[in-house]
Amino acid sequence: MTWNVSKVRADFPILDQKIHGKPLVYLDNAASAPRPRAVIDAVARYESESHANVHRGVHTLSQRATDLYEGARSKVRDFIGAGSDQEVVFTRGTTEGVNLVMAAWGRANVREGDDIVVLRSEHHSNFVPWQALAIEKRARLRIVELTPDLTIDWNSLKEALSGRPKILAMGLMSNVLGMLQPVAEIAAMASKAGARVFVDAAQAVAHLPLKLSELGPVDWLAFSGHKMCGPTGTGILWARRELLEQMTPWMYGGDMIRRVGDQESSWNELPWKFEAGTPNISGFVGMGAAVDYLSALGMERVHAYERTLTEKLFAELARVEGLKLWNPPLSLGGARAPLAQFTLEGVHPHDLAQFLDAEGIAVRAGHHCVQPLLSKLGVPATTRVSLSFFNEPTEIDFLVEQLGRARRYFA
Amino acid sequence: MSEHLDALYKDIILDHHKDPRNFGPLPGGAHVLKHEGYNPLCGDRVVLELDLAGGRLQGCNFHGEGCSICMSSASLMTEDLKGKPVAEALAAVQDFRDLMQGTRPPDESSEREVEALAGVRKFPVRIKCALLPWTTLKEALELKDNP
């Protein structure tokens, strides 16, 4: 395939700098992705030319701001293949999406003795809200375990769905394991067992063509703008209209109301029923630009190029002495995020991240907000490298060379 | 190696990381005071085992797991404070906190090896790593009076 990586790199101004005198090698994309010039410019242009409050005024600026804000919604709708703009709720991020569903649907539907099902590999943001709901409602939080090769244990899933499952919450791609979960099969099982299905697509959205029609019987899908080259403080919650209509608001205030009386009020149309207060307008203008940017690159092509990076990354890491990977083997097949987490014998992840930073390499060290998984694996912390479509194969070579040096330095 | 990194990982620190002193359980049984310090954000864990007979740190061992800054800080601390009266140890904890938080400058002329940790101050996110053994000691010594 042809992928002009140096041309793509040039789209990201932040990459063109030195850290401690060394060229920046940014390998922390799973934490947050950099912004292309197109997104930065769209936000700056909006702030300089079009800012006003949305859905409020008759005046020209307000109309312009509203068009840009709602225009971003339509772009997201097409990007994920949603049925209508009404099904695309703007949030602050994936975490808010989870909390919204927990508060607006979970509190009304989960009862004492019910089961809430999550996967062992969930990010804290798709784990703690459900744990809190389980405690509040005296429901049971049931955790689907992984097999030794770190893929889903189907027997454990069956067991977890055998009681009174009300909802199953799962990440589409774990932020540390990286493989695409067989979501259609899992959702079908959960749905058959009577559970609603919530999908956290925060990682997946940046690496795959995400089409709702291919995910099976999924009820909600949430993701964040900043993992897909958009601004922080932007996120999407998708659900079908009928379901969103059944859900009560979870935040009250301006913009989410239709009529306010002395003693009671009625709610605005979808999706604004869930968007109380003045939203992050400039953020969503940037989000719209990010969707345009990724669509122009083509998510199929992004995924294909990232696959070559992932294969090289795994092959090179396997050659590092004392390195242990904590990812499902690539030989299992299936789609991946271009990331790996590992431990290096004799070198603590924080020391390794510090050492790599001195060489200009940005990686993440720690528990990566997946304490339930790392505790189960018996690893207090790992180092994670997460790539993107602007990374070059030579950056992997440089990383691996520095891993060897770090080992000699500390161990 | 880069100068930037050498300011943090001084030879003394790497030496105490590779060859920790006073590491492991303290022999002595019933009168050993054990106290654990834990930083859930990074997983650093330090267990101190103290023998406080006669109001002194007669024995001061540690074990646990963490980054080289945390482990070497624990090793350097035990070397620095072993045998000292409890009051002096508490003063040393405060002095080390002052050093880390920048309220006292590093003492270039000092022969105390713990001064090597002064370089950590340039790496704000690592200060908590260096402090963990010391705050754990303070907790242990205060717990002794108010169990």
- What interface predicted TM-score (ipTM) does this complex get? 0.90
A229 catalytically annotated: no
pTM of the model: 0.94
Strand bridging mode A22-23 / A165-171: unpaired
A411 CB neighbours in chain B (<8 A) are 18
Pick the residue from chain B with its C-alpha nearest to A366: B42
Supply A75's token pair.
């772009």
Q: CA of A373, closest CA in chain B: separation in Å?
A: 14
List Cα–Cα distances, A19 to A85, A98, A356, A357, A389, in angstroms. 42, 36, 11, 8, 21
B73 CB neighbours in chain A (<8 A) are none
**Mean of pLDDT values over A242-255:** 96
| Yes or no, beta carbons of A354 and B4 under 8 Å apart | no
Distance of CA A388 to the CA centre of its chain: 14
- Sign of the CA dihedral running B60, B65, B67, B68: positive
3-state secondary structure of A115: strand
Facing A358 at nearest CB: one of B4, B17, B65: B4
pLDDT at residue A49 above 90? yes
* Residue A71 CA neighbour count, 13 Å, CB half: 15
Q: Tell me, what's the pLDDT at B27?
A: 83
Q: Tell me, what's the pLDDT at A199?
A: 98
Facing B2 at nearest CB: one of A20, A351, A411: A20
What sections of B1-147 are H helices per DSSP? 3-6, 11-18, 68-81, 86-100, 127-145
B2 confidence band (pLDDT: 50, 70, 90): confident
pLDDT at residue B66 above 80? yes
Supply A322's token pair.
């004392």
Residue to test with chain A: of B3, B11, B15, B42, most A Cβ within 10 A: B42
pLDDT at residue A80 above 90? yes
| Yes or no, beta carbons of A380 and B43 under 8 Å apart | yes
List Cα–Cα distances, A72 to A231, B76, B96, B123, in angstroms. 13, 57, 53, 40
Closest CA to A57 of A67, A49, A47: A67
Query: Tens of pLDDT along B76-117?
Result: 999 999 999 999 999 999 999 999 999 999 988 888 999 999
A127 confidence band (pLDDT: 50, 70, 90): very high
* Sequence-distant (≥ 6) Cβ neighbours of residue A45 within 8 angstroms: none
One-letter amino acid identity for A328? P
Domains of chain B, CATH where assigned: 3-145 (3.90.1010.10)
A1 confidence band (pLDDT: 50, 70, 90): low
pLDDT at residue B44 above 80? yes
List Cα–Cα distances, A301 to A35, A333, B144, in angstroms. 19, 18, 64
CB A311 within 8 A of CB A400: no
Closest CA to A355 of B68, B129, B130, B38: B68
CB A233 within 8 A of CB A35: no
| Yes or no, beta carbons of A354 and B5 under 8 Å apart | yes
Q: Tell me the C-alpha distance between A192 and A186, whole Å.
A: 10
CB atoms within 10 A of CB A178: 25
Of chain A, the end-to-end C-alpha distance in Å amounts to 41
Domains of chain A, CATH where assigned: 5-31+298-410 (3.90.1150.10), 42-294 (3.40.640.10)
Query: Tens of pLDDT along B124-138?
Result: 999 999 999 999 999
Of A257, A369, A377, A379, the catalytic one is A369
Q: What percent of chain A has pLDDT over 90?
A: 98
Pick the residue from chain B with its C-alpha nearest to A353: B67
Facing B1 at nearest CB: one of A380, A381, A409: A409
Supply A50's token pair.
């079009």
| Yes or no, beta carbons of B42 and A350 under 8 Å apart | yes
- CA A247, A248, A254: angle at the middle one, nearest 5? 130
List Cα–Cα distances, A381 to A179, A385, B16, in angstroms. 20, 13, 21
Query: Tens of pLDDT along A170-222?
Result: 999 999 999 999 999 999 999 999 999 999 999 999 999 999 999 999 999 99
| Yes or no, beta carbons of A351 and B67 under 8 Å apart | yes
| Yes or no, beta carbons of B42 and A20 under 8 Å apart | no
Closest CA to B84 of B51, B122, B46, B124: B51
Q: Tell me the C-alpha distance between A157 and A367, whole Å.
A: 24
3-state secondary structure of A315: helix
* Sequence-distant (≥ 6) Cβ neighbours of residue A399 within 8 angstroms: A25, A27, A316, A356, A361, A385
pLDDT at residue B1 above 60? no
pLDDT at residue B42 above 70? yes
A266 DSSP β-pair partners: A259
* Residue B63 CA neighbour count, 13 Å, CB half: 6
Q: Tell me, what's the pLDDT at B30?
A: 67
* Residue A370 CA neighbour count, 13 Å, CB half: 29
Pick the residue from chain B with its C-alpha nearest to A358: B5
CB A310 within 8 A of CB A382: no
Q: Tell me the C-alpha distance between B21 and B18, whole Å.
A: 10
A408 CB neighbours in chain B (<8 A) are none
In the numeric block, the tokens 């009820």 are attached to A219
Query: Tens of pLDDT along A254-294?
Result: 999 999 999 999 999 999 999 999 999 999 999 999 999 99
Q: Tell me, what's the pLDDT at A220?
A: 98
Q: CA of A96, closest CA in chain B: separation in Å?
A: 22
Q: Tell me, what's the pLDDT at B73?
A: 97
List Cα–Cα distances, A177 to A29, A181, A321, A335, A382, in angstroms. 14, 10, 21, 12, 12
Facing A367 at nearest CB: one of B5, B17, B43: B43
CB atoms within 10 A of CB B87: 11
A351 CB neighbours in chain B (<8 A) are 9, 67-69
Q: A331 — phi, psi (to 5°)?
A: -60, -15
**Mean of pLDDT values over A341-357:** 96
CB A365 within 8 A of CB B82: no
Q: CA of A124, closest CA in chain B: separation in Å?
A: 13
Q: CA of A376, closest CA in chain B: separation in Å?
A: 14
> Which residues of chain B are at the A interface, by a Cβ-Cβ cutoff of 8 Å?
1-2, 4-5, 8-9, 14, 17-18, 41-43, 45, 65-69, 123, 126, 129
**Mean of pLDDT values over A286-313:** 98
B147 confidence band (pLDDT: 50, 70, 90): low
pLDDT at residue B28 above 80? no
With both helix axes pointing from N to C terminus, report the angle between B127-145 and B68-81 in degrees, rounded to the nearest 10: 40
List Cα–Cα distances, A364 to A12, A28, B4, B45, in angstroms. 20, 6, 19, 20
Q: Tell me the C-alpha distance between B45 and B65, whole Å.
A: 5
Closest CA to A56 of A39, A44, A45, A69: A69
Burial class (CB in 10 A: 0-12, 13-18, 19+), A56: middle
More confident residue, A380 or A147: A147
| DSSP-assigned letter for residue B37 | E
* Sequence-distant (≥ 6) Cβ neighbours of residue A242 within 8 angstroms: none
Q: What percent of chain B has pLDDT over 70?
A: 97
Q: CA of B66, closest CA in chain A: separation in Å?
A: 7
